Structure 1
Amino acid sequence: MAGQVYVKSGKSFRYQAIYENVVGRGAHGKVFAGHFKPNLNSSWNKVSGEVKQAAIKRVEINFSEENWMDIKNDREVVALKELRHPCIVRLFAVEDDGNFRNYIFELCQGTLEDFITKKYDRLIMPVETEGLYQMASGLRFIHEKKMIHRDIKPENVLVYLHEEGQRRAWLKISDLGFTKPLKEDGIHYDLASGLKGTEHYMAPELNVLKNSTERVLDKDCTIASDVYAAGCTFFRYLNGGLHPFGKGFNIELNILEGNPINVTIDESLSPVIVEQNENFDKTGTMNVGDVQFDRRKILGRERYGMVFAGTFKGEKVAVKRIDIMDSNPTNNREVLNLQLLNHPNVVQFIHFEKDNDFGYIVLERCAASLQDYYIKEGFTRKYKGPMPTDEQVLFQLANGLEYIHSKKILHRDISPANILISLTKPVEMKWSGFGSSKPVNERGSCSLSGLRGTDNWMSPEQLRIMMKSEENADHGRGSIKRSPLAVKKVPRENCTTKSFEELKQINHPNIIRFLHFHEDDLYKYFGMEMCVASLDHLFLPDDDPKKYKGPIPSDEQFCFQLISGLEYIHEQNLVHGSIKPTNILISSKENPQIKLSDFGFTTSCLNDGHSTKRLISGFLSSQYWLAPELLESSKVEVVLTT
């Protein structure tokens, strides 16, 4: 049933799990447009007059944090129970199911950021004075209730219509996940849970603490930090998106210097907390049909799902959980391909099950992956069990891959992580990870629906395709069309790089140009101009195929170009933070220029020309290229100077 639509329903909410209903997404997950049923005891078929439109925010339950699992300890729920105000988004209900906590909010039509950036122009916004009053009124109410929001910004102000057909919108403060109580004086709050907020909306006192080497846990701040963020939001609302403190990298510096260069009601409904089903298991154990698994025992993470340790009819198995939108067995490519494969060197497909949230692919349990078998310098081998001989490993992998191709299937993600070591005797190697697999035609080829694969394990032809862009990219020097790009792929959770719009503002012939940006739920992709080599390629042995033997600037030109690029960075009040040969590129063989690259560690300077960067683990730059003062420091936090 390829056209089947998955309807997810609880006691209080209901929505269709289709992409058209996704109205928001973020680190917590997706937000769907759906419906709310106030009368929990009535059936969905008999409450058409009572049903309200709603937004359902789905947050996966964290079974490793016991306090988090108790709804009564949920910071956002606690806040919204107290904050019943027409200028604060209304929480209808909170309901836990087996996998998710569902927050059911009133449905809004967009965000203030959408309006500012002209993505949202279907409604007449409030008169400016009314809009300001509504936002200020909501924030004042939060403070009167002795709470602090901690993340006021245009993205967290929603645009709402009261009634069907009404054109005049209303502004409401939302996203109270960082909200916490104030102290008894109703003004101060502590930073015991760390600094919260969004860059460019953090008050000067928070920016100073963010860039400080001192402990912040013992520091106090006041509600003035909320007011400051609201002021920046108000200014952008009134000035077509213009920030009061400039744009790009200069905003943080101007905030620290106090230099604002661009400055020339409905009845509330109490939230309903739906009691958890008496069968709800807080231990993390999940039962779906004959499949049972423990959500605390994660065997691995793949592109399309997580793999848990479990059992099927009493036998130990691996359970791969995939998103419900991809879990119809009649059209899920991974399930279809696994059902076609039956070979000792391919992981065995056992069963498929589904519920209202996920699909579950049941596979034979293996001991480890080939990646776990590797010995890495400075690390202990994860897998120390038995292995076939080297000859047997190669033969079994070739044999399994030949079988996969004989079934007219292209794997598309060959890597050590997708090669498993069996629990059988004798031990065998098995291909796994068929989430990207695709059938091929009689000629053994298939159309590309996008590149698939793992970094460092792609074939040359895949890399050549990846480096060519069909996109147009506008930048300071003109328009690039059908030009090859170097693409930097960064996991979203690990991305510390400045925004693409800020990176595009860096414009100098001796600095790499940023041309294109794209992101999905998992990664951010930065498209940059293509260069032929990095400086370290000059120093490789002559017999190394990667050694660069093309033309380079003269010694004098090299030094001048490198200094020129670095001087430009410092003039922009930035510190690169990772100067080393791998980050110094040679532009082309025809007209070689030296270019600085890799701005993943770039940070803003303070007003004295220094930059303090908070570090989580070690130094920003590579050990062999650190300045003496950094090598002498054993502290986790260091100061970089220009």
Structure 2
Amino acid sequence: MEDHLGQVFERNFGGRDVERVREYRVHKNKEEAMLKLNHPNIVKHFRCGNDDDYIFYKLEPCVASLDQLFLDPNDPKKYIGPMPHHIDALLQLALGLEHIHSKNLVHGDIQPENVLISVESAGKDETTLKWAKFELTRNVSERGKGKTHQLGGNNAWLAPELLSLEPNSNVKENNYNEAAKSDIFSLGLVFGSLFLNGEHLYGSMENENEISQNIIKGNPINMQNLDSILEIDGKLRDCYENDLLKKMLENDPGKRMTSTQVVSQLKAIKEKIAGKEKELLELCGRDNRLDLTEKIKKLIQFGINLNAKDDGGRNALHLMCRNYSSPKLTDAIQLLIENKTDVNAKDNDGLNGIHFLCRYHSSQNLIKAIQILIQFGIKVIATTNDGSNALHYLCRYNASPNLTDATKIFTKLGLDLMTEDNDGWSAFYYLQNKDKKEMKIWFDRVAILGQGAFGTVSKGKFGGREVAVKRVELRHVDKREEEAMLKLEHPNIVKLLHFEKDNDFMYYALELCVASLDQLFLESDNPKKYEGPIPRQIKVFSQLAKGLEYIHSKKLIHRDIKPCNILIMKSPGKNEEIIIKWSDFGMAKSVNEKGLHSWSGVRGTRTWYAPEVLEKLINGEKAEQEEFWGTVQSDVFVLGLVFGYLFLKGEHLYGSSETEIHKNIIEKNPVNMQKINGELRKYYEDDLLMKMLEHDPKKRITSKEVVEQLESINNKQQPNRKFVQSSSLKKKKNCVDYVPVTLRLV
């Protein structure tokens, strides 16, 4: 690449581009701009050094410029790689320009060739547009007016107030009105070019003079072409309401939008489009035997991103191949792919469309659907995260009468029936065992996570995802646990995904968690110690309280609250949110309308009792002496013990030995309360902890009230939270939400 200042050489400095510029012709404007600008939508420049003739700049690597997107297909310089969705492309450009303007700068040379395309600089599969070329960048006053400067830039991309001036004239501040607004006009021209696939809104790119004259006259002759694109049944036009482009292309700069207003309107448009994307995912995510093609067409008309994904990384094509049982399945698949759905996109577990099809579809049109996906270029040999290919899924799960024909298609394309997945099983093995009782849950007998009196918990798989598998001998199966877990559906309760049995055991597939709460405080040399991130204490408390409130709302009492039954889970996806979850409902029991439960012997772990339960245990009272004893409030007391355990980094509030703990609970003496940091006690002891540890269950706070008081405490802690973020932890990303377990949690 060469311009009037110098040349850009690719991969000439540690694998990055280097721009070489003759030193005596360097624009000081450019250097000043580069030092001021730091934004994901602006190309980063790094001064590398100089020799006798040149100054060298190291540039952030980009793959192409925007004008290369619209070159002739036969041109070797044409860019054919990924691009952001149209609303994301527009918003990225607007955000970059807004940043430039926020630094009291104007770009001054906005045109497609000065917009660069960067792939994966913002993350895997992410494409980012970035502003480049700051030779004409200049300072503007706070009122948005430019300093004296000689005009430059391509005339096809200049605002009318600049084109009306004599060529090469000097522009004084007093008649250079709203300098930053000139950038907005040029940005509107770039937006139009994107919508028109490289065509200019004001004329033919072969006739720059025609474009300039039409800009001055306010005559966008190709706007009707743009109108027809945006007008698709009026749907996309609805999103771009209030004529965003026309406001940007207003001939009077005083009436023209600012970059901040452009960003604001584009964000509103993005939000509206995102709502339609969610609607599409919900539509494709439900089993439906009706023809959905017309509904999908109407949603496509809003200009939505057909590659938008749900939390599991599934796009509309994945969900369609999984759920849609209509004979119109093939029409719907074709419609999505023809409208730019990525046929090879994978979800969080590595499944593409053909994996979902082979896993879930046994309908008569299975063969045609497979053929359409192959026709549109799906990678048949692609494997999922567990090493399974389409043939594994077909032979393991599919009961279609077309199974043999489907198998032939895959083997002809190079898949081998004897290829093994990560578990060492081939498609042929799955095929051989099809007539046997199929177990949908698989577990690793060696990878044991925990062991109890009646069963073990191991790592396993269910439906392609990693799970925890609890295996219990049939004679020891507790129906209460099944019933409780089937009742409970809450983000802070471990989810039961599936259960099944063979001749000897019951198997429960549960959400896989990384550790239990007690593993936080193991010795540092213990291999089971949890060293990962944990939410702030107030967030942990809130999650536990909300989960317990939900359990109580379902007329259940947990009865076995203790740190080892509280699990830490990393949610799937990019962000890996840490979630605290209740588990182990083997002792859960229904309660009556007063929150009381019938008793058949004291249950639970001996150091995690409420006083009303402990007294009956010590006195040796039998269940028949009272019809009901123990309440949902018993859970609240033990939750208070867990809160204290966290404050004290693994110590018990009421002592160290079982005997001491029992004695102190009965005597209302939380001996270790004073060890809690005084600032924290100010928030918790009077306001919450002592209310949870109230001896009389009738006076004790409820789980719902615990949730409400935690919200109040969180609000009081906000100033302290800001202080922590802005001082000792400000260099740590996301330090407000997660900290290492070795730090005291605020």
Give the structure with the larger helix fraction: 2
TM-score (norm. length: structure 2): 0.30
TM-score (norm. length: structure 1): 0.35
Q: Which has the higher contact order (CA 8 A, sep 6+)?
A: 1
| Larger Cα-atom Rg | 2
